Chain A
Amino acid sequence: MNMLEIKNLHATVNNHEILKGVDLVVNAGEVHSIMGPNGSGKSTLAQVLARRETYEVTEGQVLLNGKDLLAMKPEEAACEGLFMAFQYPVEIPGISNAYFLRAALNAIRKYRGEEELDAMDFLPLLKEKMRLLEMDERFLNRPVNEGFSGGEKKRNEIVQMAVLEPKMAILDETDSGLDIDALKIVAKGVSAMRSPERAILLVTHYQRVLDYIVPDYVHVLVDGRIVKSGGPELALELEEKGYGWAEPATAQAR
């Protein structure tokens, strides 16, 4: 079943075209990785899918589970099962991690017509997910991401994903800036989320993370287009030969 279907997606920011016709299909149960050099449009793609208004979609179509994603507000997309782990998670002083996540989970449950969880039911769930990501319980009552180290912020993103249980998870460079220990913890958390009902899109700059989360498909994004697709071996080839090796394909496509 198609979880995400992107057809000829064009997007601009400040009238500058960044995505120049992206096509991609991700099925439930699959893990796809999108790799690409700086400025290729990886993060733009992730943000457009999460419905950030800064980006204007000028052409194309995106279906999430068969529904028109581009007509959705960010909160609607989330309620429909989309989740994006931020490349740079935002600090929100004054709102505790636990309060924030319960509000988010309840918003989604309410949308689906499910009963909301009170603090008593929610806390054990959150604590369990935090243990999985090896996060200390003191983070429960700390303001969202405030004063967290880079690694703690990224782990906190995966905790959120584990609690919200999205159908379509997009991880925007969640591996960037992590030391090897933190990377292993994050990878373990993501791998635990693999399931036949869920699709995962790993946006990354580096091949390293793919040693721990082995994708089903790898795509190379260069200059706003997917120029090469293949199996996990493509990542290794890229690692060896560099993005320059993939680029001539762009020239041919023109």
Chain B
Amino acid sequence: MGIATTERLRTYLDAFSEFNARSEREPDWLRSLRERGFVRFSETGFPTTKDEDWRFTNVNAIAQTQFELARGACDGVSSATLQPFSIPGAGCQLVFVNGRFAPELSDLGSLPRGVQVGSLAQAIAENSPVLEKHLGRYVNLERDAFCALNTAFIEDGAYVYLPRRTIVEAPICLLFISIPGDGPQMTHPRNLMVVEDETEASVVEDYVSLGSGVFFSNVVTELVAGENAVVSHHMIEREDRQAFNVSTLRTQQARSANVSSHSVLLGGGLVRNNVHPVLAGEGGECLINGLFIGAATQHMDNYMLVEHASPHCSSRQYYNGILDDHSHGVFHGRIIVHKDAQKTDAKQTNRNLLLSDDAQIDTKPQLEIYADDVKCTHGATIGQVEENALFYLRSRGIDEVFARRLLLLAFASECLDRMKCRQVRDYLENVVQTGLPAASPSEAKAARAGKVERRWEEVG
């Protein structure tokens, strides 16, 4: 095992050396940050299911695959190809192909004065002081190997900066396209979003595939919200079923900042969605809202870590899961209330619908409370489509397939209705409608239940 592990990590060492050779002109602080990332990753390697944070998700399939760094070639990609992925009413759309900014495919729109929306690579080339102040300051390399690995390969991604008191009304859309190649490929997109005091913005990170093949997207986004800032972040995962997607959204909230994170997971084969807000200033609010819809052998793991580090903050977590076939969902809702975070008000709800006997959900609340005057509640439900509701709809003339579909849509809408950004919500309503499992009646389901593909747990 030891030798095999070393061999596997050698791939990353080779990639890292090659990467360093072409990143000669990066600033020293970035070089040392990346090196710290790589050292940390080499020390720990990929997590195993013995690690409490990874108990329900086996990443062997990622660890045992020899990925190459994907090239940013955008041959054959045209604006027309990307049309289905553009959100009507977006303020701008930045396109990243295999992790690299593609200016020729992007539409920068018109943004208020002082607002910067562009590529991280460019910001690195300009050695912007904002970057040095914030990049890598928030993610914890010690506890997360994927974040360490991403940090080792920081090169490109999105960079968003809003100066004090600016309001960007239309959503800032970031489209990340994976184009699988002949062999397994990986990208490590790194996004930094800094919104200063009293700003407002909505951001969308949308992960899609063009074509099919083994692809690993390992994403880290740091979102820094100043005092009184109001930010909505949306993460959409709809890559190919052979894709691995591990993402971490780490938000840092100053006094009275209000940040919402909305995740909609539809695609990908093995998906891990980490959301980690730190309420660092008094009176902050955060909403963590998510929907995951799995079918076939998809594995979708949602790991929430909400840190209350200041008094009078509130957090709300709502995650709805719909799991069909042999899919496996995970909801891990961890809340840490630090010693000084008095008057914390934290709530967590996870609701799940299992549409087949073989679908599985693991849901786990984890509350760690070190303050004495707090309100924390959590709840989880697991069930099937409600037979009473189904009969009620059918008794009014609606056929069984449509009735099931309506009930699933209603369940999914609970999540979409919490999105304040109208353009994104409307767009996602359509996306989710097409992404819903074909609500086949029970007999048809039994007929196709025999078809079993491999499960991630069995790999390796």
- Beta-carbon contact of A93 and B414 below 8 Å: yes
A79-B402 Cα distance, complex, nearest whole Å? 15
- Does A90 contact B392, Cβ atoms closer than 8 Å? yes
A122 to chain B, nearest CB (A): 14
| B338: chain A residues within 8 A (beta carbon) | none
Contact B411 A75 (CB under 8 A): no
Tell me if A33 counts as interface (CB < 8 A to partner B): no
Kindly state the separation between the CA atoms of A201 and B245 in the bound complex, as whole angstroms. 58
| B402 proximity list for chain A (CB < 8 A) | 103, 107
Assembled-state Cα–Cα distance A111/B407 (Å): 22
Q: A92 near B396 (CB under 8 angstroms)?
A: no
CB atoms of B410 and A78 under 8 A apart: no
Determine if A50 is an interface residue (Cβ-Cβ < 8 Å).
yes
Q: Write out, one digit per residue, whether chain B residues 26-38 have a CB within 8 A of any chain A CB (1) or not (0).
A: 0000000000000
Residue of B nearest to A110 (CB): B397
Contacting residues of chain B (388-428) with chain A, CB-CB under 8 angstroms: 388-389, 391-400, 402-403, 406-407, 409-411, 413-414
Bound CA span A160–B397, Å: 12
Q: A75-B399, A75-B400 are in contact. Are A94 and B392 (CB under 8 A)?
A: no
Partner of B391, one of A74, A83, A107: A74
A94 & B398 in contact (Cβ 8 Å cutoff): no
Tell me whether A75 and B397 are in contact (CB under 8 A): yes
> Bound state CA distance, A160 and B190, in angstroms?
54
Q: When the two chains form their complex, are residues B395 and A84 in contact, meaning their CB atoms are under 8 A apart?
A: yes
Is residue A98 contacting chain B, with contact meaning CB distance below 8 A? no
Are B393 and A100 in touch, CB under 8 angstroms?
yes
Given contacts A90-B388, A90-B389, A107-B399, contact A73 B410 (CB under 8 A): no
Q: Is the CB of A104 within 8 A of B398?
A: yes
Taking a contact as CB atoms under 8 Å apart, the answer to whether B414 and A78 are in contact is no
Task: Give every chain B residue within 8 A of A100 (Cβ-Cβ).
Answer: 393, 396, 406
How many chain A residues touch the partner (CB < 8 A)?
Answer: 31
Q: Is there a chain B Cβ closer than 8 Å to A95's Cβ?
A: yes
Contact B392–A78 (Cβ < 8 Å): no
* Residues B393 and A92 in contact, CB atoms below 8 Å apart: yes
Residues of A within 8 A of B392 (CB): 86, 89-90, 92
Q: Is the CB of A94 within 8 A of B411?
A: yes
In whole angstroms, what is the CA distance A85 to B411 when docked?
Answer: 25
Query: Is A22 an interface residue, CB under 8 A from the partner?
Result: no
CB of A19 within 8 A of chain B?
no
A92 touches B407 (CB 8 A): yes
* B388 shortest CB reach to chain A, Å: 5
**Is A67 positioned at the interface, with any CB of B under 8 Å from its CB?**
no
The reply to whether A107 and B397 form a contact with Cβ atoms under 8 Å apart is yes
B397 in contact with A79 (CB, 8 Å)? yes
Give every chain B residue within 8 A of A53 (Cβ-Cβ): 391
Q: Which secondary structure dominates chain B's binding surface?
A: helix
Known A86-B392, A94-B409, A103-B406; judge A164-B397 contact (CB<8 A): yes
A52 within 8 Å of B (CB atoms): yes
A108 CB-CB contact with B under 8 Å: yes
CA distance A36 to B441 in the complex (A): 36
Mark interface residues in B231-257 (1 if CB within 8 Å of A CB, else 0).
Answer: 000000000000000000000000000
B426 to chain A, nearest CB (A): 16
Of B395, B406, B407, most buried by chain A (CB within 10 Å of CB) is: B395
Which residues of A84-140 are within 8 A (CB) of B?
A: 84, 86, 89-95, 100-101, 103-105, 107-108, 111
CA distance A83 to B395 in the complex (A): 7
Whether B394 lies near A73 (C-beta < 8 A) is: yes
B391–A52 touching, CB < 8 Å = yes
Chain B residues with Cβ under 8 A from A73's Cβ? 394, 399-400
Contact with B along A209-227 (1 / 0, CB 8 A): 0000000000000000000
Q: In the assembled complex, which residues on chain A have CB atoms less than 8 Å from the CB atom of B394?
A: 73-75, 78
On chain B, the residues within 8 Å of A107 by CB distance are: 396-399, 402
A28 CA / B359 CA spacing, docked (Å): 49
Bound-state Cα–Cα, A66 to B397, Å: 19
A125 to chain B, nearest CB (A): 15
B403's nearest neighbour on chain A, judged by CB, is A75
Inter-chain contacts of B391 with A (CB < 8 A): 52-53, 74, 90
Docked pose: A94 CA to B351 CA in angstroms:
14
CA distance A63 to B197 in the complex (A): 72
Q: How far apart sit A100 and B397, CA to CA, in the bound complex (Å)?
A: 11
- What is the CA–CA distance of A83 and B392 in the complex, to the nearest angstrom? 11
Least CB distance, A141 to chain B, in whole angstroms: 12
A25 CB to nearest B CB, Å: 23
Q: For residue A78, give the distance in angstroms from its CB to the closest CB of chain B.
A: 4
A94–B407 CA distance with the chains assembled, in angstroms: 8
Contact B409 A92 (CB under 8 A): no
Do B395 and A74 touch (CB < 8 A)?
A: yes
Query: B389 touching A92 by the CB < 8 A rule?
Result: yes
CA gap between A50 and B393 in the complex, in Å: 12
In the bound complex, residues from chain A placing their C-beta under 8 Å from that of B411 are 94
The one of B388, B395, B397, B410 in contact with A95, judged by C-beta atoms closer than 8 angstroms, is B410
Which residue of chain A has the shortest Cβ distance to B394 in the bound complex?
A: A74
Alpha-carbon distance between A73 and B395 when the two chains are bound, in angstroms: 9
The residues of A that contact B386 with a CB separation of less than 8 Å are 90
Chain A residues closer than 8 Å to B403, beta-carbon distance: 75
Evaluate contact between A104 and B406: CB separation under 8 angstroms.
no
Known: A75-B397, A164-B396. A93 touches B410 (CB 8 A): yes
A67: shortest Cβ distance to chain B, in Å? 16
Bound-state CA distance A84–B414 (Å) is 29
Query: Are B396's CB and A104's CB within 8 A?
Result: yes
Q: Hey, which chain B residues are within 8 Å of A108, CB to CB?
A: 397
User: How would residues 44 to 57 of chain A score, 1 for a CB under 8 Å from any chain B CB and 0 otherwise?
Assistant: 00000011110000
**Residues of chain B with a CB closer than 8 A to A104's CB:** 393, 396-398
A75 touches B398 (CB 8 A): yes
Q: A78-B395, A94-B410, A101-B396 are in contact. List 16 more A-B contacts (CB 8 A).
A: A52-B391, A74-B391, A75-B396, A84-B395, A89-B392, A90-B388, A90-B391, A91-B389, A92-B393, A93-B414, A94-B411, A94-B414, A95-B410, A103-B406, A104-B397, A111-B397
What 9 A-B pairs have minimum CB-CB distances, sorted nearest first?
A94-B410, A78-B397, A104-B396, A74-B394, A90-B392, A107-B397, A108-B397, A75-B394, A95-B410
Write 12 A-B pairs (CB below 8 A) sorted by A numbering: A75-B396, A75-B398, A75-B399, A83-B395, A84-B395, A86-B395, A90-B386, A94-B414, A100-B396, A107-B396, A107-B402, A108-B397
